[in-house]
Amino acid sequence: MKKIFFLNIKLTASLLIATMIAVVSCTKDDNDGSPGIKPGNPVANAINPDSAAGGTVLTLTGTGLGDMRSIVFSTAEVPAQFQSTLNTATAIVFRVPDTAYGGQQEIIFTNSDGKILKVPFKVLAYPNVTTAFPSDFQDGTEITLTGNNLDDVSKVVIEGTTDEAQIISQTKKQMLIKMPASSANRGFLRLTNRTGDRVTTQEFVNVSKAATVFSDQLDNGFQDWSWGGTFKPSADALITGAASMKAAYDPAGSWGGMQLGGGSINLSGYKYFAFWAKGADEDKNVQFWLNWGNQKVITIPANKWTYFRYELAIDYPGVTAVDNVTFQIFDAGKTIYFDNILFSK
């Protein structure tokens, strides 16, 4: 029995020593799971691809690339995030930062010894517009564009024309432009920056080329035939020009109507009926109609401008001319602003 006891002690000791050796061996890797390759004298062979947009995965190959500590895109010194586990002596994998600025520049690699490697690279940062306000314009209208890579936009024109907007101010995420006079009925905007050109997905309507019921005033013979409130042009809030139509429906009454009648617009060649409305302090239901029929009910959201557009062939089939446009509020009155009530091609 004693021999068996001592044999068990020897076997247990052997297993303990083997376990310790395994643990020591594992600690040779860095705690973050990186290969633990020492820094060298970094030399680049190739970067693939050699130009790309934000979010694209890049691979730098070469020699002496171990233990990189930072990767920076030189324009405005934008850092790139990377995983040390994807860094060997001959390669490193990382992404172009979404915040990188466009154009030709250098990617600067620095290892743990402070040795630096610079690699030429072109960031593809095309101008991108996600929202535009307003989408109606006339000569001098200021439009705010929001998106990305707008800081180096050098030119904005109405697509298919040479009509160029004036750039008033710009940052990477937003720019303010002043629209030119144009003979175009409507159009997209072409923006040019250091990377290249991109056309907006947003379309812009030229109020000056539309048939208007109201622009800065009642047009084309339309008159105020309203009831249940006070209705007149106002500079308090507007989309384009100098005024909108302020519809102050009587708060002590109900079912007031802004009736614009007595006008005459031939719809031949026109495709859309559209208008803007700025809501009151609460969402409000309004019904409207053309020529005394085909009423439609809309909800005008509170405290903001909302654009409404209808395709004549679908929403008003058979209507060839318009002499009356009416907006009637549901229940108790509120003040709502209307602008650019029009028909466009």
Residues 238-283 pLDDT 10s: 999 999 999 999 999 889 999 999 999 999 999 999 999 999 999 9
- What does the pLDDT read at residue 200? 98
Alpha-carbon separation of residue 114 from 27, 39, 67, 68, 170 (angstroms)? 25, 9, 10, 9, 37
Inter-residue contact 181 to 166 (CB < 8 Å):
no
Q: Is the pLDDT of residue 52 over 60?
A: yes
Average pLDDT over residues 301-328: 97
- Spans of all domains in the chain: 43-123, 128-207, 210-344
Inter-residue contact 310 to 274 (CB < 8 Å):
yes
- For the domain spanning 210-344, the CATH number is 2.60.120.430
Among the residues of the chain, which ranges form H helices?
Answer: 2-26, 312-315
Q: Is the pLDDT of residue 33 over 60?
A: no
Element (H, E) at 179: none
Average pLDDT over residues 310-330: 96
Class of domain 128-207: mainly beta
Residues 53-104 pLDDT 10s: 999 999 999 999 999 999 999 999 999 999 999 999 999 999 999 889 998 9
Q: Is the pLDDT of residue 111 over 60?
A: yes
Task: Report the alpha-carbon distance of residue 18 to residue 185 in Å, rounded.
Answer: 83
Side chain identity, residue 170:
Q
Alpha-carbon separation of residue 95 from 22, 57, 82, 116, 269 (angstroms)? 35, 4, 7, 19, 51
Q: What are phi and psi of 339, to 5 degrees?
A: -145, 150
Q: What are phi and psi of 140, to 5 degrees?
A: 95, -5
Inter-residue contact 335 to 280 (CB < 8 Å):
yes
Which single residue is written with the structure tokens 């509020």? 329
Asked, colleague to colleague, whether 128-207 and 210-344 share their fold, the answer is no
Q: Is the pLDDT of residue 15 over 60?
A: no
Question: Which residue from 281, 326, 286, 285 is spatially nearest to 304, judged by alpha carbons?
Answer: 281
Question: Which residue from 134, 84, 129 is spatially nearest to 109, judged by alpha carbons?
Answer: 84
Residues 137-164 pLDDT 10s: 999 999 999 999 999 999 999 999 999 9
Architecture of domain 43-123: Sandwich (2.60)
Beta bridge pairs of residue 87: 92
Task: Report the alpha-carbon distance of residue 154 to residue 144 in Å, rounded.
Answer: 16
Inter-residue contact 283 to 299 (CB < 8 Å):
yes
Query: How much is the mean pLDDT over the chain?
Result: 91
